[in-house]
Amino acid sequence: MKKVEVQTIVNNTLNKIKILDIHTHLFPPQHEKYYLSGLVETLNYHYLIAELFVSTNINIEKFKSLDKLQKAEVVWNELFDKRTPISEACKGVLTILKSLSIPIKDKNFSQINKLYCGLKLTDKEIFKKSNIDSIVMTNNPFNEDEWSIFSSKAWDKKRYRSSLRLDSLMLEFNKSISIAQNFSNETSNKSIQIIDYLELCFQKSQPIYAAISLDTEKFREMLKSDLWKEILKWLLRKNLPLSLMLGVKRGVNKSFDEAGDGIGNIDLKDLSKLCNNYPENKFLVTCLSLNDQHELTVLGRKHQNLKIFGFWWFMNQPSIIEPILKMRIDLLGLSLIPQHSDARITDQLIYKWSHFKKILSSVMIENYEHLIKKNYPLSKEIINRDLNNLLSDNAKNFLRIK
Ligand code: FIX
Ligand code: ZN
């Protein structure tokens, strides 16, 4: 196979593969209050809000008092008009607009927004445009309003899969236990009450994994806790992997609200202990800090029950993804789940995946060229198999789903 052929086959294949996006914050349109789509929502993304706050001297409290349309206009004017939209989050918006053929030259925010609204884009169209087969939602069983999605049966469960997000058990235990108690016959043992409730939630939502985000302190608290010993046993009984999103520190600047979370510490020796102590449990892991990536990848070679996934949040920048993806492949081969979108607004699927696929394409082409030079009999079938594994089947096999 020749170099040019490799490039064509990789790019054609990447454009065809139906993606499984294993971590998003999206909801189906039927969950009205939680379904986010459109330019106004896209410009209200907390990545852009953080950038707005640090690029301008805007009065934060005044900004917060605006409605979403007004906020979107401020973001557009400050970041896309008065300044050059060069950050990854800004470029993402431009990618979406370009892919929807919305011109921006000589147009103000209202004119652009009018064109955008005129498209009346549906989630189905966005999924199709981004080649997404299904996404995994983040479902918090301790947020009753959000969890009410499972009382309705009217949404596409093949397209929107569910996960059980358990951060509340760490961050607001009293609230969590008081919810769980309403659904358990157990009167005193809190661990049993929580497991009873999780079992009920499992039956109702059919999650494909459970998840929690942690820093070192919380991770150690979790490792020591009797409740978590029971949860890990329960997860094993249910065949559910636990997704660990490691190294986040919430509320680094509380006045920024959602945009104010940052990087915390994490000691990956604790992760290795967890994998050794619970060899039958499976762990999906991603780390927020660049500093932890090499050690995490080495751990990915040491534990069969550990699967590395995605470029989370501050890691999801092209300048970081390319070298780290190369390093992960050098150490692990293709035995990883290279990306998730973390999309909060449905339209973001368009840019989050197209930006990533561009990097994946160049990394894979470079690797395939090395193989050809070494007389490896590369074929279209092999390329197809590899890319399918990366964007879909590795996750399906680890999660044991179809
Ligand atoms: O904890 C998470 O799942 C994070 O991804 C979010 O909380 C975060 O706000 C985010 O959107 C990152 O991309
Ligand atoms: Zn997330």
Closest-CA residue, ligand 1 atom 12, reads 313
Of 120, 139, 173, at which residue does a domain stop?
120
Ligand nearest to the backbone CA of 22: 2
Q: Which of 347, 278, 277, 336 is CA-nearest to residue 310?
A: 336
The alpha carbon of 344 and the centre of ligand 2 are apart by a number of angstroms equal to 8
Q: Which of 360, 352, 347, 350 is CA-nearest to residue 389?
A: 360
pLDDT at 127: 98
Query: Is the CB of residue 120 less than 8 Å from the CB of residue 130?
Result: no
| Same-domain check for residues 262 and 382 | yes
Of 70, 95, 120, at which residue does a domain stop?
120
| Same-domain check for residues 108 and 254 | no
How many domains are contained in the chain? 2
| Same-domain check for residues 116 and 263 | no
Query: Is the CB of residue 82 less than 8 Å from the CB of residue 109?
Result: no
Written as tens digits, the pLDDT of the chain (402 aa) is 888 899 999 999 999 999 999 999 999 999 999 999 999 999 999 999 999 999 999 999 999 999 999 999 999 999 999 999 999 999 999 999 999 999 999 999 999 999 999 999 999 999 999 999 999 999 999 999 999 999 987 899 999 999 999 999 999 999 999 999 999 999 999 999 999 999 999 999 999 999 999 999 999 999 999 999 999 999 999 999 999 999 999 999 999 999 999 999 999 999 999 999 999 999 999 999 999 999 999 999 999 999 999 999 999 999 999 999 999 999 999 999 999 999 999 999 999 999 999 999 999 999 999 999 999 999 999 999 999 999 999 999 999 999
| Same-domain check for residues 186 and 262 | yes
Of 67, 96, 120, at which residue does a domain stop?
120
Q: What is the pLDDT of residues 197-237, one digit of tens each?
A: 999 999 999 999 999 999 999 999 999 999 999 999 999 99
Strands (E), 337-400: none
Provide the domain limits for residue 91. 38-120
Q: Which atom of ligand 1 is nearest to the CA of 23?
A: 3
Instruction: Report how far apart, in Å, the C-alpha atoms of 141 and of each of 6, 238, 378 are.
Output: 46, 17, 47
Q: What residue ranges line ligand 1, CB within 6 angstroms?
A: 138, 213, 245, 258, 261, 313, 342, 344
| Same-domain check for residues 128 and 239 | yes
| Same-domain check for residues 135 and 193 | yes
Closest-CA residue, ligand 1 atom 13, reads 313
Alpha carbons within 13 A on the beta-carbon side of 379: 4
| Same-domain check for residues 155 and 276 | yes
| Same-domain check for residues 229 and 294 | yes
- Residue entry with tokens 């990545």: 47
Q: Which residues pair with 249 in a beta bridge?
A: 262
Ligand nearest to the backbone CA of 212: 1
Task: Compute, in degrees rounded to 10, the torsion defined by CA atoms 353, 135, 338, 12.
Answer: -50
Question: Which stretch of DSSP H or E encloses residue 119?
Answer: none
The DSSP string of 303-353 is -TTEEEB---GGG-SHHHHHHHHHHHHHHHTT-SB------SSTTHHHHHH
Closest-CA residue, ligand 1 atom 5, reads 342
Chain length of the chain: 402
List, in order, residues 6 or more apart from 364 with CB less than 8 Å away: 10, 383, 386, 387
Q: Which atom of ligand 1 is nearest to the CA of 213?
A: 1
Q: Which atom of ligand 1 is nearest to the CA of 344?
A: 11
Tell me if residue 136 falls in helix, strand or coil: strand
| Same-domain check for residues 395 and 290 | yes
The alpha carbon of 138 and the centre of ligand 2 are apart by a number of angstroms equal to 7
> Distance between CA 394 and CA 334 in Å, rounded?
9
> Distance between CA 279 and CA 247 in Å, rounded?
23
| Same-domain check for residues 81 and 190 | no
From 342, 346, 355, mutation site for ligand 1 pocket: most ligand atoms within 8 A of C-beta: 342
The pTM for the full model equals 0.98
Q: Which atom of ligand 1 is nearest to the CA of 312?
A: 13
Query: Is the CB of residue 318 less than 8 Å from the CB of residue 89?
Result: no
CA of residue 223 relative to chain centroid, distance: 24
Q: Which of 290, 292, 298, 303 is CA-nearest to residue 266?
A: 292
Query: Is the CB of residue 165 less than 8 Å from the CB of residue 138?
Result: yes
| Same-domain check for residues 206 and 330 | yes
pLDDT at 154: 87
Q: Which atom of ligand 1 is nearest to the CA of 248?
A: 1
Q: What is the CATH number of the domain that holds 89?
A: 1.10.2020.10
Q: Which of 241, 237, 269, 259 is CA-nearest to residue 395?
A: 241
| Same-domain check for residues 83 and 159 | no
Query: Is the CB of residue 75 less than 8 Å from the CB of residue 67?
Result: no
From 25, 316, 321, mutation site for ligand 1 pocket: most ligand atoms within 8 A of C-beta: 25
Closest-CA residue, ligand 1 atom 2, reads 213
Task: Compute, in degrees rounded to 10, the torsion defined by CA atoms 298, 301, 302, 304.
Answer: 140
> Distance between CA 318 and CA 210 in Å, rounded?
28
Ligand nearest to the backbone CA of 24: 2
Q: Which atom of ligand 1 is nearest to the CA of 342?
A: 13
Q: What is the CATH number of the domain that holds 349?
A: 3.20.20.140
Pairing verdict, β 132-136 and 160-161: parallel
